[in-house]
Amino acid sequence: MLKQHQGNSIPYNYRLAPLLIRDTLYALIPDGTEHICVTGIGSNVISGDSLGPFVGTLLRDSFPTHLTVYGNLQTPLDGTTIEKEISRFNLPSNCFVIGIDSVLGSESLLNSIVISNSALHPGAGLGKNLPCIGDCSVMGVVLEKHTPDHTSLLYTDLHVIYTMAVNIAKAISLLVRQYFRYPADHPILQVR
């Protein structure tokens, strides 16, 4: 099913995006996983870099027994805080970590959500050397890789970012609800 969306890339506004993301992530979770952690990487002051914090805010307090969220709009994990904050993570044993971030990519992937079964490399598109995060990564391609002016991140369309964030947050909520067998009527997002 994902082949029609260039491997593990899904258009940001695709109606079935939450289900496709959930299914892809579910297949990556190793047997014996007892907890899921989401790390929302990015800034709360740069629109093009706010995907991770938006997802973190949408997921916060959703499934407190089985889901831990680091990085949200109130306390972002950005280039200035990530190294210090990572050392403070207190991850439960048998935890599966999903890294979420905005990235630069090819024109064909622009405005897509890309899922990788490898760690996230925050800041790589801007030449930063930050610690890798996660057992897998969910990335929103918000700008072309060869955009000459990276200040374009300041002016990225918030509708695209927010739509990506909602689809990713719904997908992770559906994933946690299914994987840990919550009742079907358990709410998937705690939007305030």
- Please, are residues 105 and 144 in contact by the beta-carbon 8 Å criterion? yes
| Measured CA distances, 66 to 33, 81, 91 (Å) | 10, 25, 11
> What was the pLDDT predicted at 6?
44
> What was the pLDDT predicted at 147?
63
Q: What's the rounded Cα separation, in Å, for the pair 154 and 140?
A: 15
The tens digit of pLDDT for each residue in 61-72 reads: 899 999 999 999
> What was the pLDDT predicted at 180?
97
> What was the pLDDT predicted at 88?
86
Within a 13 Å sphere around the CA of 33, how many CA atoms are in the beta-carbon half?
A: 21
Average pLDDT over residues 38-63: 94
Average pLDDT over residues 136-156: 81
Compute the 3-state secondary structure of the chain and give helix, strand, coil in percent, each to the nearest 5. 35, 20, 45
> What was the pLDDT predicted at 190?
62
* 88 vs 171, residue with greater confidence: 171
Q: What's the rounded Cα separation, in Å, for the pair 70 and 131?
A: 15
> What was the pLDDT predicted at 150?
60
> What was the pLDDT predicted at 130?
83
Q: For residue 106, report the phi and psi dihedrals to the nearest 5 degrees.
A: -70, 160
> What was the pLDDT predicted at 4?
37
Give pTM, 2 decimals. Answer: 0.91
- Average pLDDT, whole number, for the chain? 89
In 42-157, alpha helices (H):
51-59, 82-86
Q: Is the pLDDT of residue 5 over 80?
A: no
Q: Is the pLDDT of residue 1 over 50?
A: no
The tens digit of pLDDT for each residue in 111-137 reads: 999 999 999 988 776 677 888 999 999
* 147 vs 43, residue with greater confidence: 43
* 104 vs 66, residue with greater confidence: 66
> What was the pLDDT predicted at 172?
98
144, with CB counted inside 10 A (0-12, 13-18, 19+), is middle
162, with CB counted inside 10 A (0-12, 13-18, 19+), is middle
- Please, are residues 94 and 29 in contact by the beta-carbon 8 Å criterion? no
> What was the pLDDT predicted at 2?
30
